[in-house]
């Protein structure tokens, strides 16, 4: 084989090996970094842009796609201990010409976290209304979507500001008057685990796996490194989640 051709293959192989080795090293040593990169990539791929809005000294972080138009906008509220990027798996199925807004709930991810903040459902509803006013989303009635804790907030929001909401979608909302199987299992887990271990606030990969089983209807196997990455991302926020 010609020496120049051989050198070309060596250089090409080395060029390919660097990102592969970087990926393997990140997967093994810094799985949480890969999770952040994953969300960043999917936001870019789906055309979601991250922005901030301020109400007095309070800052909201949100992602959006599209512009307000003749079709109603869609505001999406995530659940307890999640963040705006949890909606990306839904966003990919929605038409690109819709105006979508996914906001970090009070105290979560990029939105202000204050020890003085009212984190009750009514308190969070008030904050979300401030956010809606900040970005002038209520110039026209909008679709409101919420899941779990965000579903509870969405329901209260629609009751308090009915003129601002043209439709309401609640996905497994918290606050139901009767306990679902999930709530029953959660209460049983709380009773067995005691105050030191809250099923929805994992601090080890094993606890993360248990939480995924509790919260997911479909059972699936998650690699240990991914579980570790998910835990690493959440641990800095666990004291807030407990509060």
Predicted structure pTM score? 0.83
The pLDDT of residue 22 is above 90: no
pLDDT in tens, 76-135: 999 999 999 999 999 999 999 999 999 999 999 999 999 889 999 999 999 999 999 999
Beta pairing partners, 58: 55
- pLDDT score, position 225: 86
pLDDT in tens, 64-77: 999 998 999 999 99
**First-residue to last-residue Cα distance in the chain:** 68
- Local confidence band at 36 (pLDDT 50, 70, 90 cut-offs): confident
Long-range contacts of 48-51 (CB under 8 A, 24+ apart): 48/88, 48/91, 48/100, 48/102, 50/110
Give all strands of the β-sheet with 100-103 in edge-to-edge order.
49-55, 58-65, 100-103, 74-77, 142-147, 165-171
For domain 48-175, the question of CATH label 3.30.40.10 is answered with no
- pLDDT score, position 197: 76
Please report, to the nearest 10 degrees, the dihedral formed by the alpha carbons of residues 109, 110, 113, 117 taken in order.
-100
Where exactly are the structural domains of the chain?
48-175, 177-242
- pLDDT score, position 60: 98
Beta pairing partners, 212: none
Residue 112 DSSP one-character state: -
pLDDT in tens, 162-221: 999 999 999 999 987 777 777 777 777 655 555 567 889 999 999 999 999 888 888 888
């Amino acid at each position: 084989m010609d020496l120049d051709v051989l050198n070309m293959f060596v250089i090409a192989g080395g060029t390919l090996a660097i990102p592969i080795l970087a990926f393997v090293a990140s997967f093994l040593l810094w799985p949480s970094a890969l999770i952040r990169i994953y969300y960043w990539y999917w936001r870019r791929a789906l055309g979601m842009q991250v922005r901030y809005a301020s109400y007095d000294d309070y800052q909201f972080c949100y992602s959006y796609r599209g512009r307000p138009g003749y079709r109603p906008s869609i505001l999406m509220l995530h659940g307890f201990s999640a963040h705006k990027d949890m909606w990306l798996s839904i966003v990919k199925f929605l038409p690109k010409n819709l105006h979508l807004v996914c906001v970090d709930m009070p105290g979560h991810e990029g939105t202000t976290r204050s020890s003085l903040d009212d984190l009750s459902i009514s308190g969070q509803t008030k904050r979300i209304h401030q956010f809606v006013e900040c970005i002038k989303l209520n110039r026209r009635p909008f679709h409101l979507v919420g899941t779990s804790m965000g579903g509870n907030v969405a329901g209260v929001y629609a009751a308090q500001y009915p003129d601002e909401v043209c439709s309401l979608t609640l996905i497994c909302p918290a606050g139901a008057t009767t306990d679902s199987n999930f709530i029953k299992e959660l209460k049983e887990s709380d009773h067995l685990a005691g105050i030191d271990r809250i099923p929805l606030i994992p601090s080890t990969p094993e606890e993360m796996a248990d939480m995924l089983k509790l919260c997911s209807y479909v059972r699936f196997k998650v690699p240990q490194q991914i579980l570790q990455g998910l835990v690493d991302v959440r641990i800095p926020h666990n004291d807030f989640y407990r509060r």
